[in-house]
Amino acid sequence: MRIQKLLTVVLIAFISWPLYAQHDEQLWLDFQVSYPFANRYLLENTTSYQTLLNKDGKWRNLSISPTFEYVLFTRLDLVSEIPMGYTLQKEGVSSFEISPIVGGRFHITQNRKIDLRFLLRYQVRAFHEIEANDWEISNRTRLKGEIYWSINRPNLYNDKLWYAFTDYEEFIVLDQQVDERFANRRRARVGLCYRLSYKHRFDISYTLQSSRDEIDGDFISNDSVIQLKYKLYLNPPTLSPPPTN
């Protein structure tokens, strides 16, 4: 009952999110390949296509995000990522970005019906405006809280598992904004997932994000995002899941 109440509060928060000057709808399609090994390391890559669904919008993005994670302690993972992507910001304006990320994920609860996590990351953005042939460098911190709920199994390590999640992330720019249409300020998300087997997993989620248009004006918009993700996991672990602490 507690998790149901929590999800209800999150949904109410989404509905009551402050209204701004513009509302955009986006569709994100992700394909993720994960390769864990030695029961401590994870290599991963996510290929993503994102597009604006508004008829008058041309924004779209194609990116890849290689990731490496290391389990330092039972409750702490070190994470690193190098997202790289091309974005058509609008007609005649496009960009390329490479933005290395380092950080850590702290597991508040683990291997339970409800898992709580907190993620702190630091990101350096090297942003290239292609038509202007100009590079910008920007730094930001990303703070994210996550809740995972195993619906029909005792934890997240079971097959034929339905589970739900919700998370909230703040983007804190440390120096300057870059000239892009969707410069995120905050992002809240709810999703439903199905783990058919260790190898095959499927996610559908709805995201409400607040973003700023740094190209055509300094106004803020609410963006609704539908995200579909297929996860392919390789190399099943040989040991049991981490113990409950």
β strands within 38-133, DSSP E:
41-52, 60-73, 76-81, 84-90, 93-98, 101-107, 114-129
Do 88 and 73 touch, CB atoms closer than 8 A? Answer: no
What is the per-residue pLDDT for 13?
52
What is the percent of the chain where pLDDT is above 70? Answer: 87
15: tokens are 């509905």
The phi and psi torsions of 21 (rounded to 5 degrees) equal: -75, -25
Which tops the pLDDT comparison, 226 or 1?
A: 226
Per-residue pLDDT of 189-231, as tens digits, reads 999 999 999 999 999 999 999 988 887 766 688 889 999 999 9
Do 171 and 144 touch, CB atoms closer than 8 A? Answer: no
- Taking the model in full, what pTM does it have? 0.85
What is the per-residue pLDDT for 159?
96
19-28, 135-144, 234-243: the lowest-pLDDT one: 234-243
Per-residue pLDDT of 85-118, as tens digits, reads 999 998 889 999 999 999 999 999 999 999 999 9
Looking at domain 28-233, its CATH superfamily turns out to be monomeric porin ompg (2.40.160.40)
Does the pLDDT at position 56 exceed 80? no
Q: Please tell me the distance from the alpha carbon of residue 87 to that of residue 127, in angstroms, as a whole number.
A: 11
Residue type, 243: P
With vertex at residue 3, the alpha carbon angle to CA 227 and CA 205, rounded to the nearest 5 degrees, is 5
Confidence of residue 20 (pLDDT cuts 50, 70, 90): very low
What is the percent of the chain where pLDDT is above 90? Answer: 71
Average pLDDT over every residue of 151-167: 96
